[in-house]
Structure 1
Amino acid sequence: MPLPLSLFHLAAIFFLGLANMAQAQSPGPLNGQIFGAGNRALVVVVHGDVSKGGPATYHYDLAKQIAEQSKDVSVFALVRPGYTGKKGQNSPGSNTGRRDHYTKENNALVAKTIQNLAKSIGASKVIGIGHSGGAAQLGAIAGIYPGLLDSVILVSCPCNIPEWRAKRGKSAWTNSLSPHDHIAAMARGTRIFAVVGDKDTNTYPELSEAFVLAAKARGLPAAYVPVKGASHGFDQLQRTVEQLALKEIAK
């Protein structure tokens, strides 16, 4: 009898450990899911506002695809403050009803998570990919935490927050930090890509183009990447983003 009981407990401990690994794959403070393993590069994928509601999980697929095509790379699908990810991968903090939440405090949580991941993995370079609100956060973080991101791929970025809100006829977001205001502080070697659908009527191609022009004027290596026929949805942009990420990993 003692032997079966011992095996039972060992099995229980093993499966509990697997469950905990699936639920907590980040050194914190924010949660998410890691795909792949290795320190050649850390790629962090950050979702948008998901303003229609529901969990923020659509970016997991891109993270998985990049990891499957890259050797010795860790790819983290980050769940932003106050958002629900997959089971056990919810992040602390508040998104204030998914409004005006690209704040100093929330950006600090994202940046700290990236810093902790890079340190724990021992990554030789860090690539950030953000869509919509996630792009707004990474764009500001690249300037507020210069050198944290070696490359940043901003997808459908509302890079000038006041202009974006005004163009949409919406009320101002006074607590959100605008990437456009932090270009001057970005590390000189930061590689910037602004990907946007040429039919995007949410975050507008001209906002991404203006951001890239301002970055180039400062001498930063930046590229504007319009995607013909695409709108704001990430599914129409994912393939272009994936190809850019793989090229940055290979450098």
Structure 2
Amino acid sequence: MRSSLALLLLGASLAACAPRVGGPAEPPAPANGLYSQSFGNTPAKQVRTLIVVLHGDAPTTKPDYHYAFARAASEAVPNSVAVALLRPGYEDPQGHRSPGERGETTGDNYTADRIGAVAATIRHLQHRYGLARTVLVGHSGGAAIAADLAATHPGLIDGIVLVSCPCALPEWRKYMKKVSPTPLWDAPVTSLDPVKLVGGMAPTLRAAVLVGADDKTTPVRFSRTYAEALSLRGIATDYRIIPGKDHELLGDPEVISALQRLAAALPGKS
């Protein structure tokens, strides 16, 4: 079953198909609430894994591929619900839109305010699924945001799955300027660089980092650098290079398998 929901502005309540968790009244939705779609049949009180999915920068398209991944994730991980978010300022092909500024998609929109909007939405979802561990899955620019969020909001999430990540941001931008020359790459950005923030991560976090061997947008070296930094931090990291695959890796079965392994390894909440 799929339910569409928008975390509306000005304190509207979150709508979802599952029953509410008992306890205190649910807080109002964050003022910068992001549009989302929720997947899974598990009643809220029985959800043990909350999977949140972020799409990539999508410079030339309106993203909706992360909805399909969220559906597959909810079916693959037992007792789970998966929620696919539209990043700030983005619109999907059906006309749904999240508030905020999209940016130029040159690594300029991994900023503290956008990361904070994702974090606020996750906190709201966690209130609904109070017994669930939280796994944040990000593709491409969404992976950079996921990594930044894990470091700047330690303890908020229990695991991250990073797919095709530009996780060494300045180096990646220099690379992209060579691949796709435009003055936009010369503009200064206030985005957070994931690899420089690893020291802020909770050591108990678990991570999976996947990249296609033939990825020309975020080549292997950027994921390898980040995975090595995670390991040096003492974070359990499942790092995999997927042979014959390019940048559009999120729908690959290897990603679902990595998510399943990570979710199974997380300790339960009491």
Contact 1:32 1:90 in 2 (8 A): no
- Gaps spanning 5+ residues in structure 2: where? 8-13, 15-28, 178-184, 266-270
- Gaps spanning 5+ residues in structure 1: where? 1-20
Contact 2:5 2:38 in 1 (8 A): no
| 1:206/1:97 CA distance change after superposition, 3 Å | closer
Contact 2:73 2:82 in 1 (8 A): yes
TM-score (norm 2): 0.79
Whether 2:210 is the aligned partner of 1:210: answer: no
- Offset, 1:130: 0.2
Q: Distance in 1 between matches of 2:92 and 2:152?
A: 26
TM-score (norm 1): 0.85
- Offset, 1:250: 2.6
2:84 corresponding residue in structure 1: 77
- Offset, 1:57: 0.4
1:58 corresponding residue in structure 2: 65
Q: Match of 2:210, as an amino acid?
A: V
**Structure 1 runs of 4+ with >3 Å offset:** 25-28, 86-89
2:168 corresponding residue in structure 1: 160
Whether 2:42 is the aligned partner of 1:34: answer: no
| 1:229/1:246 CA distance change after superposition, 3 Å | same
Select the structure that is richer in helix. Answer: 1
2:212 corresponding residue in structure 1: 197
Say which of 131, 141, 149 aligns to 2:139. 131
Say which of 96, 100, 123 aligns to 1:93. 100
Whether 2:46 is the aligned partner of 1:44: answer: no
- Offset, 1:209: 0.5
**Greater C-alpha Rg:** 1
Whether 2:186 is the aligned partner of 1:151: answer: no
Secondary structure at the counterpart of residue 74 of structure 1: strand
Q: Match of 1:57, as an amino acid?
A: D
Q: Distance in 2 between matches of 1:73 and 1:40?
A: 6
1:122 corresponding residue in structure 2: 130
Q: Distance in 1 between matches of 2:227 and 2:93?
A: 34
Q: Match of 2:166, as an amino acid?
A: P
Q: Match of 1:207, as an amino acid?
A: F
Q: Distance in 2 between matches of 1:68 and 1:211?
A: 29
Q: Distance in 2 between matches of 1:71 and 1:223?
A: 20
Contact 1:161 1:173 in 2 (8 A): no
Whether 2:246 is the aligned partner of 1:231: answer: yes
Q: Distance in 1 between matches of 2:77 and 2:110?
A: 31
Q: Distance in 2 between matches of 1:240 and 1:166?
A: 29
Say which of 246, 255, 259 aligns to 1:245. 259
Aligned residue pairs total 229
- Offset, 1:24: 2.5
Secondary structure at the counterpart of residue 193 of structure 1: strand
Q: Distance in 2 between matches of 1:200 and 1:154?
A: 14
